[in-house]
Homo-oligomer: A and B are copies of this chain.
Amino acid sequence: MSNTTLRGRDFITLMEFTRDELEAILEAAYDLKRKQIRREPHKLLDGKTLFMLFYNVSLRTRNSFEAGMTQLGGHAHFLQPGAVYTPALKGEEQAYTTERISDVARVLAEMGDGIAIRIYGKHTGWLYGKGNRIVREFAEWSRVPVINMEDDMYHPCQALADVMTMQEKLGELRGKKFVMSWAYAGSVEKPLAVPQSAIIGASFFGMEITLAHPKGLELDPNVLSFVEKNVRKFGGSFKVVHDMDKAFKDADVVYPKAWTAQPADGKRPMDPEKAKAIFEANKHWITTEEKMALTNDALYMHCLPADRGQEVTDEVIDGPNSVIIEQAANRLHAQKGLMALIM
């Protein structure tokens, strides 16, 4: 592995890492994936503990972290806020129901080796940025690394797995066309974390990035600025379009999924009725074989769970270009690389 030392670093957004650092994590991930496949022992975190605090449900994230810790020789605790005293920001506490995050974070840091948190949506009152503020509050008080398992701004572990999957399938990513597209779903309760982290991830590797969505579904302008700055630094390009077909044209990778309509200033919460209206006006943003035919035989990506029949047809998601299972598998390997370096 490289000489970059990441021991003790929090992992909240890729934006706080250099490309060299991300490559060090990916290198560790590939190495541990090889070892896992060959069943070579790699107990790099023997006897260590990761605390996983899930305000929201999870299949991939929980099981990849928990199995990953087992494979590394340690153990991950599955914690639901209601079964501890729900960690709360200063000023939002209730006697004998919540506990201030500063206390929770400092206590857990004494007992184990890492704290991972998932929080978005209703657990943040759908006020954009509040989930991230809570993750950062843990990081502020914990002396062991904090890992963002998806907040309302970022899902950096997903982005690592996405980059891995594209590298495995396409080799060099420079010059490849990556399309992050909105797609329709029957529920508006979808955070912005995945699309934002996906374009951030792609922007480190010289990809030609297209973000596609109907009007009213804009992402956070700070994320867009970061991506623009990154493509100037690392090559590639970035543009935003409002037409799914146009976006898919000649794409090497498409990543179509729903996200909600949410004021990025964090001052007003998401308005479900307003979001629903935008969603229902755009039911034609579904990934079909016809749309896939517009691409350059593109990989079909999705973080899962997918709303089949809404975001995508069965033919596409179960078709030959779909890499969804490889993507999910890489969650395990990417996070093992990450944990091995920071914990």
Contact = CB atoms under 8 A, between A and B. Distances in A.
B332 A95 contact: no
Nearest to A317: B103
A110 B332 contact: yes
A25 interface: no
A80 interface: yes
Contact of A43 (B47, B67, B79): B47
Interface string A53-74: 0100111101110111011011
Contacts of A308: 93, 100
A174 interface: no
Nearest to A84: B59
A200 interface: no
Interface stretch (A7-15, A186-194, A203-211, A218-226): A186-194
B96 A83 contact: no
Contact of A71 (B47, B63, B97): B47
**Most chain B beta carbons < 10 A, residue from A46, A63, A99:** A63
B47 A73 contact: yes
A295 to B, nearest CB: 22
Contact of A57 (B59, B83, B108, B332): B83
Contacts of A75: 66-67, 70, 75
Interface stretch (A124-132, A149-157, A244-252, A322-330): A322-330
B304 A95 contact: no
Copies, count: 3
Interface in A321-342: 324-325, 328-329, 331-332
B304 A103 contact: yes
Interface string A292-320: 00000000000011111010000000100
B110 A329 contact: yes
Contacts of A307: 93, 95-96
Given A110-B332, A187-B96, A83 B66 contact: no
A178 interface: no
Contacts of A100: 308
A112 interface: yes
Contact of A77 (B66, B79, B83): B66
A41 interface: yes
Contacts of A306: 103
A291 interface: no
Contacts of A79: 63
A62 B67 CA distance: 17
A99 B325 CA distance: 14
B63 A95 contact: no
B41 A95 contact: no
B78 A49 contact: no
B43 A58 contact: no
Given A71-B47, A308-B93, A107 B328 contact: yes
Task: Enumerate the 3 nearest inter-chain pairs by beta-carbon distance, A residue then B residue, closest first.
Answer: A95-B186, A110-B329, A99-B305
